Chains A and B, each alone.
Chain A
Amino acid sequence: DVKVTQSSRYLVKRTGEKVFLECVQDMDHENMFWYRQDPGLGLRLIYFSYDVKMKEKGDIPEGYSVSREKKERFSLILESASTNQTSMYLCASTPGWPYNEQFFGPGTRLTVL
């Protein structure tokens, strides 16, 4: 079974802190994604990566950056956390076309105070 793990289930940070969220997948998937999920807004794509060191902006990249130095690991960085970044963060991976079903991690509930 594909396994996608995220570094923390719950995280509480202060405004202005730099925050790292890490995601690891164990099935050699090409593509990895970071979403945030908010009530009434659904899943919104922050960034995705289709190869090591390659990244593309999603719909809401402002205030975030990403890093993919190894194929299995995709990190989301909040450069200076703000209260409006309080959310559930979900990481996903896919093998690549034509097998594009996404496998999600358990999510990180981030609260910024």
Chain B
Amino acid sequence: EDQVTQSPEALRLQEGESSSLNCSYTVSGLRGLFWYRQDPGKGPEFLFTLYSAGEEKEKERLKATLTKKESFLHITAPKPEDSATYLCAVQAGTGNQFYFGTGTSLTVIP
């Protein structure tokens, strides 16, 4: 069965304290791995798509990387406005379905 697991469930950081969020997956025929940010009471907002192992994408303080088994979302010198839940999703095989992890809730303390 296809699975996506995110860790940790929750993460508290001091402002400026860099860290990484993990998304591990067990799927056959990965077509894409997606990162989203979700603020409380809102829909997820797209951040990155990664297609193949070794690929990296960056946006401001965020950098996403991909290996054959997992993806990392690195947050460099985070600010309080980076506080949100970060979701990972994969699309695999020939279907149109996406499989989501349960997310990492990030809190950045001033």
Q: Which A residues contact B (CB, under 8 angstroms)?
A: 4, 31, 33, 35, 40-45, 48, 50, 56, 58, 90, 92, 97, 100-107, 109
Considering only CB atoms, which chain A residue lies closest to B100 in the complex? A43
Q: Which B residues contact A (CB, under 8 angstroms)?
A: 31-32, 34, 36, 41-46, 49, 87, 89, 91, 96-98, 100-103
Given A42-B101, A100-B31, A101-B49: A56 and B43 within 8 A (CB)? Answer: no
Please give, as numbers and ranges, the residues of chain B lying within 8 Å of A35 by CB-CB distance: 100
Question: In whole angstroms, how far apart are the Cα atoms of A109 and B91 in the complex?
Answer: 26
Per a CB cutoff under 8 Å, which of B45, B49, B97 touches A104? B45
By DSSP majority rule, is chain B's interface helix, strand, loop, or mixed? Answer: strand
Nearest-Cβ distance from residue B2 to partner chain A, whole angstroms: 11
18 new A-B contacts, CB < 8 A, other than A90-B43, A104-B44, A109-B41, are A33-B98, A42-B87, A42-B103, A43-B87, A45-B97, A45-B98, A56-B96, A90-B44, A92-B43, A100-B91, A100-B98, A101-B49, A102-B36, A102-B44, A102-B98, A104-B36, A104-B43, A105-B43
